[in-house]
Structure 1
Amino acid sequence: MSGGRKPQAFGALFGAYARNDMVQRVVYVTEEDSFMIDFPVLSFNLSETKKLILEEIQKGVSSVTKIAATAGISKGMTYNHLRKLKAMGYIADGESGYIITDAGRIASI
């Protein structure tokens, strides 16, 4: 492990992921041109229900009714989970329903 700027930045990023409740935004600023790169604020504590919903969306299921039935929860609760997953940056609105983001793929591993 070097003491260079990239390992330090990744260490800070890991800390932000571990304490995501205390973080509003994660940004990396390149030294060369001061370009700002936004990172999603991830967490390591997704509930099993949210993981299941992410898996269903990754399979291409976009029907809230089908997701609710698979998860064994009400449609209202499913909408609540979807809203939270969207706010976390794990899903987004696609042309024909919800789509999983790169952050969502990483978080569901």
Structure 2
Amino acid sequence: MANHVEMFINKEKSNINMGGKKVLIATLYSPEPVLLASNRLGPDRLVLLIDKEPNKEQEKALKVINDSLGRIIDVKAVKTDVYDIVEVTRKCVEIIDLQPKDDWISINITSGRKTKAIGLLFAAYARHDRVRKIAYNPEENKNSVVYLPKLSFKLTESQKKLLEAVANPKYAKLSLVELAEKIDTSRAMLYRNIDELRDMDLISTEDGLKLTDAGKIARL
């Protein structure tokens, strides 16, 4: 396996001319999807998301990947939360932001828990301008690849300002009139943004203005 991987990676490096390095960020539980994705991409750097307290299966998978790829490329494991999607997304955004601007970033969400995969997917949406590909390998045919669309939170500047204000506890008790003044917008624009952000499920209005989990992610 190691020799095959090494040959593939060397071949990829010679065929693709890019200023930066190729980076693969992937969820991990079983090693096969990550090895397959690495074979296809030929990354220079591999970042694997594992649980804060990885079980034996995950530790075994990490060892297999380190033994197969660790002497060829830079392999790094990053521990994240398991079920808190907002925290997983925040950590993944940090990982993406740490990569040099010229790097070619790919995402693979095949392996690992679904909540962790969703968090990584949301991070790719939050940093859609940095991520080149989002891939998934179907369980029915693990040799095939499904490339997911790169979506994004397309917010206006006034919508972003409103999200920031809602997240700020100092503004929690302000009336809408006072809030409009604080963020320097008209009341009509404020009401419009509230309606639109609520329709996008980024804020809730049932008990005052509050960010939803999606709203927290959109701010990252």
- What is the TM-score when the length of structure 1 is the normalising length? 0.58
Deviation at 1:77, TM superposition (A): 1.1
Match of 1:59 among 137, 154, 168: 168
Matched, 1:49 2:158: yes
The sequence identity of aligned pairs, in percent, is: 32
Matched, 1:79 2:191: yes
Q: Are the aligned partners of 2:203 and 2:209 in contact in 1 as well (CA < 8 Å)?
A: yes
Q: Alignment partner of 1:45: what SS?
A: coil
- Taking the aligned partners of 1:88 and 1:56, their CA distance within structure 2 comes to 17
The 5 A counterparts of 1:4-15 are: 7-8=109-110
- What is the TM-score when the length of structure 2 is the normalising length? 0.32
Cα deviation code 1:41-66 (max 9, x no counterpart)? x7332122111101111113252112
Query: Which consecutive residues of structure 1, in runs of 5 or more, have no partner in the other structure?
Result: 19-41
Q: Alignment partner of 1:55: what SS?
A: helix
- Taking the aligned partners of 1:43 and 1:63, their CA distance within structure 2 comes to 31
Letter in 2 for 1:69: E
Q: What RMSD over aligned residues (CA atoms) do the two structures have, in Å?
A: 3.3
- Taking the aligned partners of 2:33 and 2:175, their CA distance within structure 1 comes to 48
Deviation at 1:70, TM superposition (A): 2.2
Residue number in structure 1 paired with 2:210? 99
Q: Which ranges of 4 or more aligned residues in structure 1 deviate by more than 6 Å?
A: none
Q: Are the aligned partners of 2:165 and 2:183 in contact in 1 as well (CA < 8 Å)?
A: no
Letter in 1 for 2:153: F
- Taking the aligned partners of 1:71 and 1:86, their CA distance within structure 2 comes to 18
Match of 1:90 among 185, 192, 202: 202
Residue number in structure 2 paired with 1:35? none
Higher relative contact order (CA 8 A, sep 6+): 1
